[in-house]
Structure 1
Amino acid sequence: MRRLLVTRPEPGASRTAQRLEDLGFKPILLPLTETVALPADADRVAYSAAAVAVTSANAVRHA
């Protein structure tokens, strides 16, 4: 069985590992980064912005 290193952070790492297992690989989880929320004044952004661009699922998760 071929081993593959999965370096993405959770929650995506486990999903990727499961897909790799389903394809016959042996995933090794070693997240190299961690996604964390930064403090933000959501009310100020909501009232002063004409639009908000969301660039990832993590952005929504931490909003």
Structure 2
Amino acid sequence: MKNCIKELRRARGLRQEDLAGLLGVSRQTIVVMENNKYGAARKREVCLCLIYQKNV
């Protein structure tokens, strides 16, 4: 699966800090997700949240 988190985050005009706050995680967690070093299932959840503009 293509990592869409960074692309979708930017399309929504969110900073890493903003997305981290929405998801209840640290900014560093977002960095790890965007660098493909995080579980695929969680990345899919984040992508869906960004697509549908919903919080986890």
Q: TM-score band, normalised by the shorter chain?
A: under 0.3
Greater length-normalized contact order (CA 8 Å, ≥ 6 residues apart): 2
Greater per-residue helix proportion: 2
Q: TM-score normalised to the size of structure 2?
A: 0.25
Which of these two proteins has the greater Rg computed from alpha carbons? 1
